[in-house]
Amino acid sequence: MGMIYSSSAWIKVNLVHQEKVFGMEKNFMEVLKERLDENNLKKLLAIKNSKVHETVAKYIEHCNPDQVFVSDGSREALQYIRDAALAVGEEKRLAVEGHTVHFDGYYDQARDRERTKFLLPKNVKLGPSLRSIDREQGLREIHKIMKDIMRGHELYVCFYSLGPVNSVFSIPCLQLTDSSYVAHSENILYRQGYEEFIRRGKNGYFFRFIHSEGELDERKTSKNIDKRRIYIDLEEDTVYSANTQYGGNTIGLKKPAMRLAINHASKEGWLTEHMLVMGIHGPNNRVTYFTGAFPSMCGKTSTAMLDNETIVGDDIAYIREIKGEARAVNVEKGVFGIIKGINSKDDPIQWKVLHSPNEIIFSNVLVTKDGHVYWTGKDGKTPEKGFNHSGEWWIGKKDAEGNEIPPSHPNARFTVALDAFENLDSALDNTEGVRIGAIVYGGRDSDTWVPVQESFSWEHGIVAKGASIESERTAAVLGKEGVREFNPMSNLDFLSIPIGRYIEINLDFGKKLKHHPKIFAVNYFIRDAKTKKYLTDKVDKKVWYKWMELRVHDDVEAIKTPTGYIPHYEDLKRLFKEVLDRNYTREDYVKQFTIRIPENLAKIERIKGIYKKIDGTPTLVFKILDEEKRRLTETKEKYGDYVSPEQLEN
């Protein structure tokens, strides 16, 4: 679980390191007494963990904020941070009560893959796909960047819990940030952990997140993005983030914490996954819990928000084996959701929340002069002008590169607590998690997978579905959109262990289970090979999940294909009528569920080629992919390149 010391040993080791890096002569209690007022010092010292005190003192002294606020998670503390975000200009009030807007810098709108690196000792290797830097070099660099970086700012010391508090799943977290927007966001997204720190006393590890937005420009956005860094130190469970405000780089408990948790999970026998958790409601008031992994902007949040179903979480899950069952919790208690395309017809639950007086932070949307927001894909006409991430905006405005600027950024977001949603599942804070009935994998795939299919086994699902995800790049990461990317379990960006080891851990997890969740693959983005038009509607996923729920309980039969089990037409016809009140034609069914053998064979070769270059890939990966290739080849010899589901039905 990384390098974990007792409190006294940790302090001794880190004081030596501290003097080496910082040249700090005072002990941490002296610093705290000098820099904190009586009330904030009292709140901090109520936590009896010297490691917490030393961390706070170290970065107060090094980053040098003008003042320090310690949050104890009380109503007053949360309000203080809300007010601060407005006072310093990181957020602005909107017309609807509780709504605010935040803008990131024009070139600070997505996760920065290139500058997100692991700090690794010389003898540790994670593999060529995971970016890293020598640990000592990286620590010197980030601490040089962060020297006096908070001068003129206020430091917020915040405490959280990943997962429900007082649970086998919970991980305490300490966040230090000089961004009131980041602190406000985390107060919405995560469970308060101050009492959890007090309860644990001197014992147990915790995650640390040290963030500074750096110098701000006149728009209150990070100015020195050439010095943007996100560095992850697995040895001390610490993430450093500097000169950035975008949530994916700065909200430490989100994807940065995933990297720390994956490292711990790999050594402790559980899973940290980039997954939604939701309840699908079946016959006779039955609720079956699903997890699902999708790369960003591939339908994960819209799936988690399906009307008539219930949401536990939309992004990150911890999964443990408890009494032979796979059980999952939502790490968070809120949503940092992509807002593009949300409309009243397709997303009624999200639409209602976004138009109600809840506590919501909108980011990088268009704000009109009357204080309302507009985003790409919203109902109604696009406003002619307003204010957005580029400053004053008008239709046809172009950036310095000559690109037309949309009214809202493609990666524009909203941050809101889950208790604002009418479809919140009552199991959100269940300390034992929910029993997983099904795991779903999906990505942005225009030409290969059918809309929904069930794997043959746990191993087949992990390898041929989860470990074989390819997805076209979206606006959620910096770089050229549309490029097909390998993304096992949609978790590649967040791995802190070698890929081969990660696949092995997922395979091994199944060996612990007496009751295996069924594994499915979905594809919301399949297109007609000739016209390139989408073959499914955005809302069709409602039907796919109802079918999967029935399959979990063996309530319907399925057609065996070379790549998995697919639905019978009559079952889908009935479900389309029941769920969407729509007549589902056999013609649509055949187009959607035709097995595209050349594309599937090409995919297998691509995936095998990737894994052949990855050290430590389990041999089972190649065995399962070769078996699928054999089934596809035999089917091709019998039926041709493109095989209708009706040909396989008999």
Catalytic residues: 298
How many whole angstroms separate alpha carbon 609 and alpha carbon 603? Answer: 10
| Nearest CA among 228, 254, 253 for reference residue 241 | 228
Residue-level length of the chain? 650
The residue type of 273 is: E
Q: Are 296 and 30 spatial neighbours (Cβ–Cβ below 8 Å)?
A: no
Strand, coil or helix: 517: coil
The answer for residues whose C-beta is within 8 angstroms of residue 648's C-beta and 6 or more apart is 559, 560, 561, 595, 635
CA 621 to chain centre: 26
How many whole angstroms separate alpha carbon 485 and alpha carbon 469? Answer: 8
Q: Which two tokens stand for residue 616?
A: 């430590």
The phi, psi pair for 105, rounded to 5°, reads: -60, 155
Q: Which two tokens stand for residue 247?
A: 């949530």
Which helix (H) or strand (E) is 9 found in, with range? helix 7-22
Strand, coil or helix: 159: strand
Q: Are 335 and 415 spatial neighbours (Cβ–Cβ below 8 Å)?
A: yes
The answer for residues whose C-beta is within 8 angstroms of residue 589's C-beta and 6 or more apart is 569, 572, 573, 645
How many whole angstroms separate alpha carbon 20 and alpha carbon 379? Answer: 57
Rounded to whole angstroms, what are the CA distances from 360 to 73, 97, 193, 354, 625? 18, 9, 21, 8, 45
Give just the sign of the alpha carbon dihedral 412, 416, 422, 424.
Answer: positive
Half-sphere exposure of 521 (CA within 13 A, CB side): 34
Strand, coil or helix: 259: helix
The DSSP secondary structure of 274-289, one letter per residue, reads SEEEEEEE-GGG-EEE
| Nearest CA among 605, 600, 602 for reference residue 622 | 605
